[in-house]
C-alpha cells in the first residue's frame, strides 16, 4: 500500500467521487458554470466510476477494499436509482452498474 502523499491522494480522489455521487460536491474542480443537467451527469459519472476497475486502483491505494467501501457509502442505492430513472446511459455504464449491483447483492 502506498504511503504518505500517494495514499492521501487516493483517499481524496475516492472521497471526491463519493461526494459527487451523493450530490455533496461543491463543484470546486469544475470549470465554468454548471447547470442542473451537468450536475446530474457528474453524479452519474461519479457513481459509475466508483464501480469500475479503474477506481479499484484508488481504493487499493487508500487501503480500503472497493466492495466494502461501496457497500458502506450507499453506492447500490445510487446505482439502482440511476438504472431505474430511465437516464440515457452507455452500454458500458449500464454494465458497470449492473455488475456492481450483482457483486454487492449479498451485502445489501
pLDDT tens for 13-40 read: 999 999 999 988 765 555 555 566 688 8
pLDDT of res. 1? 53
At 38 the pLDDT is 80
Task: Name the DSSP letter for residue 32.
Answer: S
Give the other-Cβ count within 10 Å of 8's Cβ. 13
Answer yes or no: are the C-beta atoms of 80 and 89 closer than 8 Å: no
Q: Is residue 103 scored above 80 in pLDDT?
A: yes
Question: What is the widest separation between alpha-carbon atoms in the chain?
Answer: 42
pTM for this entry: 0.84
- Residues 29, 13: contact at Cβ < 8 Å? no
Higher pLDDT, 102 or 28: 102
- Sketch the domain layout of the chain as residue ranges: 5-104
Give residue for cell 466510476.
49
Are 63 and 7 a contacting pair, CB within 8 Å? yes
Residue 34: what pLDDT?
Answer: 57
Amino acid at each position: 500500500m502506498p504511503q504518505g502523499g500517494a495514499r492521501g491522494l487516493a483517499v481524496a480522489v475516492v472521497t471526491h467521487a463519493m461526494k459527487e455521487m451523493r450530490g455533496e460536491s461543491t463543484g470546486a474542480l469544475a470549470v465554468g458554470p454548471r447547470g442542473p443537467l451537468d450536475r446530474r451527469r457528474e453524479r452519474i459519472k461519479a457513481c459509475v466510476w466508483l464501480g469500475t476497475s479503474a477506481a479499484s486502483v484508488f481504493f487499493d491505494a487508500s487501503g480500503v477494499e472497493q466492495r466494502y467501501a461501496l457497500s458502506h457509502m450507499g453506492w447500490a442505492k445510487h446505482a439502482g436509482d440511476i438504472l431505474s430513472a430511465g437516464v440515457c446511459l452507455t452500454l458500458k455504464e449500464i454494465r458497470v452498474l449492473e455488475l456492481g449491483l450483482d457483486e454487492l447483492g449479498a451485502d445489501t
